[in-house]
Amino acid sequence: MNDYLEVRNLSKSFEGFQLHDITFTLPKGYIMGLIGPNGSGKTTTIKLILNMLKRTSGEVKILGFDNIAKEQEAKRNLGVVFDSNYFSDEWKVSQVEKSVSAFYENWNTQKFSEILERFHIQPSKKVKELSKGMQMKLMLACAFSYDAKLLILDEPTSGLDPVSRDELLHILSEYIEDGEHSVLFSTHITGDLERAADYITYISYGELFFSGGKDEFIDSFRIVKGGREELSADLSKKMLGIRNFSTGFEALVKTEDLKQFAHLNVEPAAIDDIVVFTSKRGERYE
């Protein structure tokens, strides 16, 4: 099996929001960043993948298993980390292992102890006594202890300090090193993805904007800068988003349209630029 996660035409309707026709695949051995502004549908997509929400239509396969018909099989090798801890605050770290390990045949107690030691988590501490970063590491330690093949992280870096964020990205990079593990990583801190992700899936207001290689994504867009007098109506139409200043403007354009902007100052676009300029639902960012 080459694709660890297959999402096809996934849709979900809520009152006032619709996730529409989301399709992407995550191959074995890679990290995919799931990006989009707040409220764009990242968490909804993840909850649909985990069958925590009922989909309106579409199909999801986790490690080759349908996420509803073969839910147990699909979740057996799946690790999930949310933005906040999902263990009882009153549990000691050792109790977390006792409570969770029974559900996983592959659980390796020795490995769990080693990971705790590496993460500097004391088994005698209560979950509520751990910092947010430590709680996140505890969720990771559990997933690593049963050798979860696919790791899904929903906004794991929100609320973490830069050191903890850096550490998490390092852990994830190590995790996929053997080519047998994959990570789907939802975040709005796109700087994290510049470093760690191989693939990007960008959801904007419930619609799939892009899914593919990170380099291809970044390379598809450019930032053009110029003076106000250089901005014509024709050029403006080709811009995906524009920011005006008193002295000039900067805009996001498609690389394929770059010829028309050859007279302007062209710079590479960062993921953040692409998200900010394109997340205005077609409105100009002025």
Partner 1 sequence: MSNIWKSVKLDFSLVKPYVKTICFTMILPVVFAVINRSLLTGISFAMCFIAMTTGYTFSVTEKNSMERLYGILPIRKSDMVIGRYIFIIIMGFTALIFSLITHPVVLIILGESISMFDYISAAATGIFLFALYTVFQLPGYYKLGSIKGRVFMYIPVAGFLITLLLITRIPVGESKLLFAVIHSPVLLMLLAVILVIAMYVVSISVSIKILKNKEI
Shortest distance, position 127 Cβ to partner 1, whole Å = 8
- For partner 1, the closer of residues 84 and 220 by Cβ is 84
Cβ count near 1 (within 10 Å): 11
Shortest distance, position 80 Cβ to partner 1, whole Å = 4
Q: Are strands 207-213 and 199-204 parallel, antiparallel or unpaired?
A: antiparallel
- For partner 1, the closer of residues 141 and 224 by Cβ is 141
Listing from the earlier edge strand, what are the strands of the sheet with 199-204?
A: 65-66, 57-62, 3-14, 17-27, 207-213, 199-204, 31-35, 182-186, 150-154, 78-81
Q: Is the dihedral of CA 73, 206, 253, 234 positive or negative?
A: positive
- For partner 1, the closer of residues 44 and 211 by Cβ is 44
Q: Which residues bind partner 1 (CB under 8 A)?
A: 47, 50-54, 71-76, 78, 80, 82, 84-91, 95, 98-100, 102-104
Question: What are the backbone angles phi and psi of residue 256, rounded to the nearest 5°?
Answer: -65, -20
The answer to whether the CB of 13 falls within 8 A of the CB of 53 is no
Shortest distance, position 91 Cβ to partner 1, whole Å = 7
Shortest distance, position 215 Cβ to partner 1, whole Å = 32
- For partner 1, the closer of residues 104 and 185 by Cβ is 104
Token pair in block for residue 158:
């929100």
Residue 239 to residues 214, 220, 223, 278, 284, Cα–Cα distance (Å): 21, 13, 10, 10, 9
- For partner 1, the closer of residues 36 and 79 by Cβ is 79
